[in-house]
A and B are shown apart, each in its own frame.
Chain A
Amino acid sequence: MNNLWILNMGFVALLIGIGLYCLLAMKNTVKLLIGVEIIAKGVTLALVASGYARDNLMLAQAMVITVIVIDVAVIATALALIISINRHTKSLDVSKLTQLKG
């Protein structure tokens, strides 16, 4: 059971790595959000895998559902932001967001 947990955690690490790559390398704002979604998938997988390994699946599922609900709220806000930005710049290109110098 523990080894299955470690196998799952390995894939969690892969998903988070892919998501971070997407966030760092991509230029399209919608793509960045897809990166965030991939990271979120990795984390939900981690929660369920932990619940399965510790025989506490019900608690894990309760948490996963909360995470998904919160995720929907974040994604909705982010997409609303992207649409509003698009009205200003007529583009989805993040490199055109140069008003601020970070």
Chain B
Amino acid sequence: MLFLFIIVPLLLAGLLPLLGKLSKRFLPDLLASAAMLFLLVLSVVSAKPLIAGGGIIQQAFWFGAPLNIRLLLDGFSLFMLFTISLVSFAVTLYSINYMDHYGAKANYYALLLVMIAGMNGLVLSSDLFNIYIFLEMAAIASYALVAFGRGHEELEASFKYLMLSAVASAFILLSIAVIFGMTGGVSFGTVAQGLKTLNVKYVVGVCSGLFLAGFGLKAALVPFHSWLPDAHPSAPAPISAMLSAVLIKVSGVYAMTRIFLNVFGLTPALTTVLTVMGVVSIFVGALAALGQNDIKRMLAYSSISQIGYVVLGLGIGTPLGIIGGLFHLFNHALFKSLLFLNAGAVEQSTGTRALDKMGGLAKVMPLTATTSAVASLSIAGVPPLNGFWSKLLIIIALVQAKMHVLAVLAVLGSVITLWYYLVLQRYAFFGKLNEAWQGVREAPFWMSASMVLLALLCVVTGLVFPFAIHSWLQPAADVLGQGIGVALNFIGF
């Protein structure tokens, strides 16, 4: 059943270019949205009960015949699956209107579906080499999606992104090759057992370094972040949302956390490196965001800063820190995709991304302005919205772990975040309406619907956060808290 998460998008991606010949818009829109809704429902209704008693390994079936594919599902991967499905559903709804003027819609949806299949495959895989393959699959689709508009800027951003990402993949694969050379296998279980028996600290150190560089590049942690502020703003708005909200987290943070916590085991040295990288990312991202005039570039730098919070939380390694990090990951997926979708709506209506040319748009685009205000307050950590609770958890965890300096810095970063989001709101939506935008209209129906959906989720998650933590985050955090025991359990499958 879990195999559906990979094979449904992949099959549809193969069919869409053919169906696109029959109907240029209607069929691709309908099928892509239906597929995303199906995956979302599947992750909530069918996958959740499967792991009631802890993580499982499920064999894949193809029309009743068993395949030699074993998929790993536990609290952590289910949590990621749900996040991916939720954001991709909202993004697909938004694309119905937004992607019309780009042309080649069937091709666009096909690439989006391949990217989603890649991310789902990565989350469900139980072996280092599979992680690499699905990482690359999602990455190749994302290069094409960044360049989808085929303007000069898009092509250039995509090329830079491709070069850095190819190096990151090479580092990851090299590390896998070294581990394979040490332990003779690549599945989580074999590697965890092998490294435990061998007890070779320095080689694990080298491999950790390679993984850190590789996944750090994919997650755009400082100092590996230089590609993100180019690639994310250049992409079409729904793709910016997808990349910032999910791709960097799945191919960077998820893969890194899974390997470091469940396969290598978290060491104090690793905790130090991760928390320091997290805090540095928070500040570099936030300070760079302050100086931006391009709305999407500001959001892109803000992604670097917020990913810093996620890594900081996960890096602490205490149960509360992990819950805080994961909760912030989910919240960031919601509000950052919403903010990019807002920016896309503004760009489509006014034709500009420069903040100083906007002004007063709240009068003509009330829905976009309201949802954007919700997202901005959330990301800045204003109670009782969801971003407040996750940042609070991370800061409490830092205090509990006696990392007082980092806790103060995290609070400070949050203040800067509030500052630049107020700047964004003031320039874009408040004040006197710029003459040029008198005739601007609200975004079309599906774009508005998707923005309202995400804004409601931000508010609801904030209000019912104890429930969210209990039913979705706790199982995920438990998996990470068990350390390498998780991987050792799966030996023999």
Contacts and interface: CB of A to CB of B under 8 A. Distances in A.
**Is chain B found bound to chain A in the same assembly?**
yes
A21 B137 CA distance: 26
B167 interface: yes
B143 A53 contact: no
A5 B203 CA distance: 14
A46 B206 CA distance: 15
Contacts of B137: 70
Contact of A60 (B133, B180, B234): B180
B166 A54 contact: no
B187 to A, nearest CB: 10
Contact of B226 (A23, A39, A81, A102): A102
Given A40-B170, A56-B184, A85 B155 contact: yes
Contact of B156 (A23, A59, A100): A100
Nearest to B157: A100
> Which of the listed residues A5, A70, A82 has the most CB atoms from chain B within 10 Å of its own CB?
A70
Interface string A33-62: 000100110110011011101111001100
Given A78-B159, A84-B150, A102-B230, A56 B185 contact: yes
Contacts of A40: 170
A81 B230 contact: no
Interface stretch (B171-179, B387-395, B407-415): B171-179
A66 B129 CA distance: 10
B174 A43 contact: yes
Nearest to A51: B180
Contact of A16 (B140, B156, B174, B227): B174
A99 B180 contact: no
A84 B258 CA distance: 38
Contact of B160 (A59, A84, A102): A102
Contacts of B144: 77
B181 A46 contact: yes
A16 B214 CA distance: 14
Contacts of B163: 23, 32, 36
Contact of B170 (A16, A84, A89): A16
B29 interface: no
A100 B156 CA distance: 8
A78 B163 CA distance: 9
A10 to B, nearest CB: 13
Interface residues of A, number: 43
> Which of the listed residues B140, B155, B160, B227 has the most CB atoms from chain A within 10 Å of its own CB?
B155
B167 A100 contact: no
A23 B167 contact: yes
A9 B206 CA distance: 13
A99 B492 CA distance: 53
A84 B157 contact: no
A14 interface: no
A67 interface: yes
Contacts of A77: 140, 143-144, 162
Interface in B271-291: none
> Which of the listed residues A5, A20, A51, A78 has the most CB atoms from chain B within 10 Å of its own CB?
A78
A46 B174 contact: yes
Given A67-B173, A102-B229, A36 B133 contact: no
Given A5-B181, A70-B136, A102-B230, 12 more contacts: A16-B174, A19-B170, A43-B177, A46-B174, A46-B178, A46-B181, A50-B180, A55-B184, A60-B180, A78-B166, A81-B159, A97-B159
10 contacts: A12-B177, A23-B163, A39-B170, A47-B173, A49-B181, A54-B180, A56-B184, A60-B180, A102-B160, A102-B229
